[in-house]
Amino acid sequence: MNQKALKTLEFNKIIDQLTELASSSLGKELCHTLLPFCDLTSINEAQQETADALSRILQKGSLSLRGIKDIGASLKRLEVGSTLGIVELLNISSLLDCALRAKAYGSHDEEEEDKDSLSERFFLLEPLTPLNNELKRCIISEEEISDEASSTLKNIRRSIKNANGQIHEQLNKIVNSQTGRTMLQEAIITMRNGRYCIPVKAEYRSKVPGMIHDQSSTGSTLFIEPMSIVQLNNSIRELELKEQEEIERILAELSEQCAEQMEALESNLSILVSLDFIFAKAMLAKKMHATAPVFNEDGYVNIKKGRHPLIDSKKVVPIDIYLGKEFNLLVITGPNTGGKTVSLKTVGLFTLMGQAGLHIPAFDGSSLAVFEDVYADIGDEQSIEQSLSTFSSHMTNTVSILEHANEKSLVLFDELGAGTDPTEGAALAMSILSYLHNKQIRTMATTHYSELKVFALTTEGVENACCEFSVETLRPTYRLLIGIPGKSNAFAISSKLGLSNEIIDSAKELIDSEDQSFEDLLADLEENRVAIEKEREEIEAYKAEMEAQKQKLEEKNEKLEAQRDRILKEAKEEAYKVLQDAKEYADTTIKKYNKWSNESGLSKQMERERNELRNRMKGSETSLLSGNKAKPKKQHKAADFKLGDAVFVTSLNLKGTISSLPNAKGDCFVQMGILRSQINISDLELIDEPTITAPNMQKTGSGKIKMNKSFAISPEINVIGKTVDEALSILDKYLDDAYLAHLPKVTIIHGRGTGALKNGIHAHLKRIKYIKSYRVGGFGEGDHGVTIVEFK
């Protein structure tokens, strides 16, 4: 790619944005040197890497690669056996930390079947955890080695600390003594040349035996190291030298360990820098809301809703551009500041970005061609230094383009032929475009010349385009319309701005009749285009509405189908259950027939059983035919309810007993097991009094009695606070009444307490023959505070 086009199309500004997103200096260097590729394989690989990184960012968030240090120089020193310093070893540790984070970020790849183009990079990373842990154990900061780096270092530093303590103890005795306060300038301990001293007044110099290390600027104070601590100071100096030797030994040992892993360190550095570069491209794509273009080698360009990346995203107008299939030359006309140059730069910059492996800010599915070079003549090329006019400068650039361009090139011209006589300029522009068109070179050119509009209309493989302009608002819309030549709006704009009609009419008379006819034709085309576009938008709106209605209808049909299937399934299950019940009852009856057939005098009983079976089968048939039709709920009045009436609470799906008469609002209390609640009569249904057939009453003729006592029997009894004897006396009568009332089960509320009352009741229940079973209440029934009794 020629550098002039990269600068003209502002590719360097995109590179600057990319460089800012890289984390490391080496990654920024890769971004800064990025150039477009010219072969399809390399382009597709780079695009795939960017797409895979973007996919990972959207799924897992960004990858933190801060901490990548350039350890290249350190690795070379290790190669020749040198010892690394503390900072260099910390840089290696920082790199390994990044490798560990990156490894964890990409670790899920091993469990997935479909791995992307970055999986191998993540797999090849080696965090070298043992080495990194050793570096962190030994090195605390850039200035300090840990005491735990070695036992020798720890002992040396302990000895230094002890010596310092002894020195301070000796000096404190001197400083705090009565003699010391007289001889010392200040009661402090200071250091000179790395040795502990005390400030002695000059006149007491002979009173303090020791070594003089310094004096004050006035000479009144001498800094003397007393003889009593000279040996201790010497010991500290010796220990400090041993400490430094031990630190150098530790650094040499750590360097040797790093040298053993030099190949892995080089690999980690290379991989992390490449990941930093790739994820910077992905972050740029995310920032621009960009997508991966589809590349081809057929010279076909189709950009869908492309947005120039250097224009504010809130202001940029997306454009659709295609080139290279039905035509290879596009001539764009329109007013100044209408967006012609932006359209040229968008195509050129997208081509450079795409071939460099960067996503482009356009709709998904946009296509770009692989070009060996991109040539652009855009902007004012006037050069005072080279004594070149605007036309000469443009023409010099054009000549260079014509010499080097081929069918694998993309050529962009802005205002071709401008800066000279319009007639000659139009002729030159037409000739240049014809030359490029005949060589099948993909070309885009902007112009104001009407001759080029006619050239595009009359030449096969050449197409007109224009940047739309609103005369009403006197502003361009920045929309690019391919297939429509641009119309001159000079007269319309002038009239809108207030120029008199007399002057405008006079100007129109000066225009050639053919030019006037051509402009009128363009005006008609523009009116027809606007009308057609409006109709198309209306059609699209109708289509969208129809599609929405179709979608709703399909969803409704799906719901109906699902509901129908559910109803059929429930009906079949209900029918199967009914038939199973009938079959079981029939089997039982047949067994009875077989038994009774061997006995005499039981014909009445057999006939009764046969009638009962017939009625039951008829009931089953009626149930199947009636389905799940809900019975109409009967409306009750307050007067219909009496104390002790059995009712069904529809909202709670529970049976209960009326325990208080309804008030003026129709509210009454209903006892439902251990639950007592206020319910409105609109939520209650009276339960018909059960008719009970007693086997021992068959001889009475009717064989049936009404258990009227059931109206007054509550399904529960509360004996809390009673003694065992009192409770059993009350309980005996209650259980007899409940059994005669044919209640299936009752609840005895005795509370928790000490358990004596519960145990006495349970012992009594064991002796009652008509009780089938009893148990402690479960969750929601009262737990251990109640006993549930079931009758036979």
pLDDT, position 499? 83
Average pLDDT, the chain: 82
pLDDT band at 336 (very low <50, low <70, confident <90, very high): low
Q: Please, how many CA atoms are within 13 Å of residue 494, restricted to the half-sphere of its CB?
A: 13
131 Cβ contact partners less than 8 Å away, ≥ 6 residues apart: 96, 257, 258, 261
Is pTM beyond 0.85? Reply is no
Model confidence over 217-235: pLDDT tens digits? 888 888 988 887 888 888 8
3-state secondary structure of 367: strand
Strand arrangement of the beta sheet that strand 786-791 belongs to: 716-718, 745-749, 786-791, 771-776
CA-closest candidate to residue 642, choices 691, 692, 681, 672: 681
646: left (phi over 0), alpha (psi -120 to 50) or beta: beta
* Mean pLDDT in residue range 267-275: 95
Judge contact between 45 and 295, C-beta under 8 A. Answer: no
**CA geometry: angle at 242 spanning 240 and 248, to 5°?**
105
Choice between 175 and 706, residue whose per-residue pLDDT is larger: 175
Checking if the pLDDT of 487 tops 50, the result is: yes
Judge contact between 414 and 340, C-beta under 8 A. Answer: yes
Q: What are phi and psi of 442, to 5 degrees?
A: -65, 120
Choice between 601 and 322, residue whose per-residue pLDDT is larger: 322
Checking if the pLDDT of 700 tops 60, the result is: no
How far out from the chain centre does Cα 321 lie? 33
pLDDT, position 41? 94
CA pair distance 275, 49, nearest whole angstrom: 9
Checking if the pLDDT of 627 tops 50, the result is: no
pLDDT band at 287 (very low <50, low <70, confident <90, very high): very high
Choice between 517 and 451, residue whose per-residue pLDDT is larger: 451
* Mean pLDDT in residue range 140-164: 90
The DSSP code for 111 is G
pLDDT band at 692 (very low <50, low <70, confident <90, very high): very low
pLDDT band at 114 (very low <50, low <70, confident <90, very high): low
Model confidence over 371-412: pLDDT tens digits? 999 999 987 554 434 445 677 778 888 898 999 999 999 999
Checking if the pLDDT of 701 tops 80, the result is: no
Q: Please, how many CA atoms are within 13 Å of residue 17, restricted to the half-sphere of its CB?
A: 16
- Enter the tokens of residue 394: 């443009």
240: left (phi over 0), alpha (psi -120 to 50) or beta: alpha
How far out from the chain centre does Cα 371 lie? 37
Model confidence over 542-554: pLDDT tens digits? 888 888 888 888 8
Checking if the pLDDT of 497 tops 90, the result is: no
How many other CB atoms sit within 10 Å of the CB of residue 460? 7
By the 10 Å C-beta count (0-12 exposed, 13-18 middle, 19+ buried), 599 is classed as: exposed
3-state secondary structure of 629: coil
- Enter the tokens of residue 741: 């009332």
pLDDT band at 705 (very low <50, low <70, confident <90, very high): very low
pLDDT, position 472? 65
Q: What percent of the chain has pLDDT over 90?
A: 33
Task: Determine how β-strand 442-447 pairs with β-strand 409-413.
Answer: parallel
3-state secondary structure of 223: strand
pLDDT, position 696? 40
pLDDT, position 518? 55
Tell me which of 46-55, 124-133, 511-520, 763-772 is least confident: 511-520
